[in-house]
Structure 1
Amino acid sequence: MAKSKNAFVCNECGADFNKWQGQCSECNAWNSLAEVNLGPTPVNRAQRFAGYAGTPEAKVQTLAEIDLQDLPRFSSGASEFDRVLGGGLVPGSVVLIGGNPGAGKSTLLLQTMCALAATMEALYCTGEESLQQVAMRAQRLRLPMEKLKMLSETSVEALVATAQKVRPRVMVVDSIQVMHMTDIASAPGSVSQVRESAAYLTRFAKQTGTVVMLVGHVTKDGSLAGPKVLEHMIDCSILLEGSHDSRFRTLRGSKNRFGAVNELGVFAMTEQGLREVTNPSAIFLQRADEVAAGSVVMVVWEGTRPLLVEIQALVDDSHTGNPRRVAVGLDANRLNMLLAVLHRHGGMFIGDQDVFVNVVGGVRVVETSADLALLLAAVSSFRDRPLGHDLMAFGEVGLSGEIRAVPSGQERLREAAKHGFKTAIVPAGNAPRQAPAGIKVIAVKTLQEALAAID
Structure 2
Amino acid sequence: MAKEKTVYVCTQCGGTSPKWLGKCPECGAWNTLEESVADNTTSARHRFQALAKSMPAATLSEIEASDVDRTPTGIEELDRVLGGGIVAGGVVLIGGDPGIGKSTLLLQAVDALSLQVPVLYVTGEESTAQVALRSRRLGLAGTKVRVLAEIQLEKILATVASEQPAFCVIDSIQTVYSDQLTSAPGSVAQVRECAAQLTRTAKATGTAMVLVGHVTKEGTLAGPRVLEHIVDTVLYFEGDTHSSFRLVRAFKNRFGAVNEIGVFAMTERGLKGVTNPSAIFLSTHGEPVPGSVVLVTLEGTRPMLVEIQALVDSGGPSPRRLSVGLDRDRLAMLLAVLHRHAGVACMDQDVFVNAVGGVRISEPAADLAVLLAIQSSLRGRPLPRGFIAFGEVGLAGEVRPAPRGQERLKEAAKLGFSIAVVPKANAPKKPIEGLTIHAVERIEEAIEVARSLH
Whichever residue aligns with residue 338 of structure 2, its letter is: L
Whichever residue aligns with residue 270 of structure 1, its letter is: T
Give 1:28's aligned residue. Answer: 28
Residue 296 of structure 2 contacts residue 390 of structure 2 at CA under 8 Å; is this kept in 1? yes
How far, CA to CA, are the matches of 2:315 and 2:142 in structure 1?
58
User: Secondary structure of 1:129's partner?
Assistant: coil
Normalising by structure 1, what TM-score?
0.94
Normalising by structure 2, what TM-score?
0.94
User: Secondary structure of 1:225's partner?
Assistant: coil
How far, CA to CA, are the matches of 1:367 and 1:261 in structure 2?
14
Give 2:432's aligned residue. Answer: 436
**1:128 counterpart = 2:134:** no
**1:427 counterpart = 2:423:** yes
More displaced 10-residue stretch of structure 1: 323-332 or 397-406:
323-332
Whichever residue aligns with residue 99 of structure 1, its letter is: G
User: Secondary structure of 2:403's partner?
Assistant: coil
Whichever residue aligns with residue 134 of structure 2, its letter is: R
- CA spacing shift, 1:37–1:92, aligned 2, 3 Å: farther
Whichever residue aligns with residue 346 of structure 1, its letter is: A
Give 1:336's aligned residue. Answer: 332
Give 2:167's aligned residue. Answer: 170
Whichever residue aligns with residue 167 of structure 1, its letter is: Q
More displaced 10-residue stretch of structure 1: 5-14 or 154-163:
5-14
Whichever residue aligns with residue 69 of structure 2, its letter is: P
How far, CA to CA, are the matches of 1:58 and 1:387 in structure 2?
61
**1:247 counterpart = 2:244:** yes
- CA spacing shift, 1:101–1:41, aligned 2, 3 Å: closer
After superposition, what is the alpha-carbon deviation per residue over 1:190-213, rounded to whole angstroms, capped at 9, x for unaligned? 111111111111111111111110
Give 2:341's aligned residue. Answer: 345
Equivalent pairs, count: 444
Alignment of 1:224-243 (within 5 A): 224-243=221-240
Alignment of 1:237-276 (within 5 A): 237-276=234-273
**1:376 counterpart = 2:394:** no
How far, CA to CA, are the matches of 2:233 and 2:96 in structure 1?
14
Alignment of 1:196-207 (within 5 A): 196-207=193-204
User: Out of 139, 142, 148, which is 2:139 matched to?
Assistant: 142
User: Secondary structure of 1:400's partner?
Assistant: coil
How far, CA to CA, are the matches of 1:142 and 1:163 in structure 2?
27
User: Secondary structure of 1:158's partner?
Assistant: helix
User: Secondary structure of 2:86's partner?
Assistant: coil
Between the aligned residues of both structures, percent identity stands at: 56
**How far does residue 118 in structure 1 lie from its aligned partner after superposition?**
1.4
Give 2:414's aligned residue. Answer: 418
More displaced 10-residue stretch of structure 1: 278-287 or 332-341:
278-287
Whichever residue aligns with residue 347 of structure 2, its letter is: G
Residue 2 of structure 1 contacts residue 40 of structure 1 at CA under 8 Å; is this kept in 2? no
Residue 4 of structure 1 contacts residue 39 of structure 1 at CA under 8 Å; is this kept in 2? no
- CA spacing shift, 1:314–1:269, aligned 2, 3 Å: same
Give 2:87's aligned residue. Answer: 90
User: Secondary structure of 2:242's partner?
Assistant: coil
How far, CA to CA, are the matches of 2:72 and 2:443 in structure 1?
46
Whichever residue aligns with residue 14 of structure 1, its letter is: G
Give 2:8's aligned residue. Answer: 8
Give 2:322's aligned residue. Answer: 326
**How far does residue 283 in structure 1 lie from its aligned partner after superposition?**
2.8
Residue 71 of structure 1 contacts residue 90 of structure 1 at CA under 8 Å; is this kept in 2? yes
After superposition, what is the alpha-carbon deviation per residue over 1:296-320, rounded to whole angstroms, capped at 9, x for unaligned? 001001111100110001111115x
Whichever residue aligns with residue 388 of structure 1, its letter is: P
Alignment of 1:444-455 (within 5 A): 444-455=440-451
Whichever residue aligns with residue 363 of structure 1, its letter is: V
User: Secondary structure of 2:70's partner?
Assistant: coil
How far, CA to CA, are the matches of 1:252 and 1:378 in structure 2?
29
**How far does residue 85 in structure 1 lie from its aligned partner after superposition?**
0.8
How far, CA to CA, are the matches of 1:353 and 1:225 in structure 2?
40
**1:305 counterpart = 2:302:** yes
How far, CA to CA, are the matches of 1:15 and 1:205 in structure 2?
26
**How far does residue 346 in structure 1 lie from its aligned partner after superposition?**
1.4
**How far does residue 153 in structure 1 lie from its aligned partner after superposition?**
0.6
Give 2:17's aligned residue. Answer: 17
Whichever residue aligns with residue 93 of structure 1, its letter is: G
Residue 41 of structure 2 contacts residue 180 of structure 2 at CA under 8 Å; is this kept in 1? no
How far, CA to CA, are the matches of 1:369 and 1:165 in structure 2?
52
- CA spacing shift, 1:351–1:131, aligned 2, 3 Å: same
User: Out of 42, 67, 78, which is 2:64 matched to?
Assistant: 67
**How far does residue 2 in structure 1 lie from its aligned partner after superposition?**
11
**How far does residue 188 in structure 1 lie from its aligned partner after superposition?**
1.4
How far, CA to CA, are the matches of 1:235 and 1:173 in structure 2?
15
How far, CA to CA, are the matches of 1:77 and 1:412 in structure 2?
28
**How far does residue 10 in structure 1 lie from its aligned partner after superposition?**
2.6
